[in-house]
Amino acid sequence: MTELPLFPLSTVLFPGGLLPLRIFETRYVDMVGRCMRESSPFGVVLIRDGAEVGEITDTAELGTTARIVDFSQLPDGLLGITCQGERKFRLLRRWQRSDGLHLGEVEYLVLEGVAAVPKEYEHLADLLRKVLPSLGEPYASMAGDFGDASWVGCRLAEILPLDPADKLGLLEIDAPVERLARLNSLVRRAPAAG
């Protein structure tokens, strides 16, 4: 078990995914500084009850570690960081320090196995291949592994306009091909653009 600083958000981060953040609260500026100095990750968990700025009374039990891969000063003077999702974890206990930073005791989950995209889901990889360049940065320059079921499933889950609870459900799936099957049913049910 490991203690991690937590960044509760209204979004779900997937392993391998990129997440740009604007950092303005002192507790998170301090956390980012510490993570950069120590080359350590922080945990991203979905807020179930509460707000990103304000009180958080409940978060998801499953989250993903995030590592800072880039930073800059934004035009508004705030700190901008880009994080990459790494490992899934189960949140065993969460508490808040006096400075407002959330901490958690976490247990890392087993890494997903490597699996090829099955023939019946190749259309999902093709869809992703077509859509990613149109999304702009950071997706336009992302090196893709369109033959890897985990990579394809995680990227689709990130970019599809799904409810955060549905995205969390996709993160909870441990088998990459099972995630593709679930995504396939969601894509087929989506109304066609006209």
Q: How far apart are CA 16 and CA 127, in angstroms?
A: 18
Strand partners, 59: 47
Query: At which residue do the structure tokens 């699996």 appear?
Result: 115
- For residues 159 and 94, membership in a common domain is answered with no
pLDDT of 192 above 70: no
- For residues 38 and 70, membership in a common domain is answered with yes
Give the end of a domain, one of 62, 87, 108.
108
pLDDT of 72 above 80: yes
- For residues 98 and 168, membership in a common domain is answered with no
Give the end of a domain, one of 108, 139, 174.
108
The per-residue pLDDT for 47 is 92
DSSP 144: P
- For residues 10 and 104, membership in a common domain is answered with yes
Tell me, yes or no, whether 126 lies in a domain.
Answer: yes
The per-residue pLDDT for 88 is 97
* Domain that includes residue 137, residue range: 119-189
Tell me, yes or no, whether 113 lies in a domain.
Answer: no
The per-residue pLDDT for 58 is 86
Q: How many domains does the chain have?
A: 2
Q: How far apart are CA 153 and CA 14, in angstroms?
A: 10
85 close to 15: Cβ distance less than 8 angstroms: yes
The per-residue pLDDT for 190 is 54
pLDDT of 138 above 90: no
Tell me, yes or no, whether 101 lies in a domain.
Answer: yes
Q: How confident is the model at residue 67 (pLDDT cuts 50, 70, 90)?
A: very high
pLDDT of 37 above 70: yes
pLDDT of 155 above 90: yes
The percent of residues above 90 in pLDDT, for the chain, comes to 66
The per-residue pLDDT for 49 is 83
The per-residue pLDDT for 1 is 74
- For residues 13 and 75, membership in a common domain is answered with yes
Q: How far apart are CA 160 and CA 131, in angstroms?
A: 10
The per-residue pLDDT for 194 is 38
Tell me, yes or no, whether 131 lies in a domain.
Answer: yes
- For residues 34 and 61, membership in a common domain is answered with yes
- For residues 104 and 123, membership in a common domain is answered with no
CATH number of the CATH domain containing 92 = 2.30.130.40
Average pLDDT (140-169) is: 90
Query: At which residue do the structure tokens 């500026």 appear?
Result: 29
Tell me, yes or no, whether 114 lies in a domain.
Answer: no
Tell me, yes or no, whether 175 lies in a domain.
Answer: yes
Tell me, yes or no, whether 194 lies in a domain.
Answer: no
When the pLDDT of each residue in the chain is averaged and rounded to a whole number, the result is 90
- For residues 71 and 143, membership in a common domain is answered with no
The per-residue pLDDT for 189 is 63
pTM of the predicted model as reported, rounded to 2 decimal places = 0.90
- For residues 36 and 17, membership in a common domain is answered with yes
The bridge status of strand 102-108 relative to strand 56-73 is unpaired
The per-residue pLDDT for 191 is 52
Angle 164-172/149-159 helices, nearest 10 degrees?
A: 170
CATH number of the CATH domain containing 132 = 1.20.58.1480
Q: How far apart are CA 24 and CA 3, in angstroms?
A: 23
Burial tier of 113 (Cβ tally within 10 Å: 0-12, 13-18, 19+): exposed
Strand partners, 1: none
pLDDT tens-digit profile of 86-134? 999 999 999 999 998 999 999 999 988 889 999 999 999 999 999 888 8
- ∠ Cα 10 14 19 (to 5°): 60
Average pLDDT (21-32) is: 91
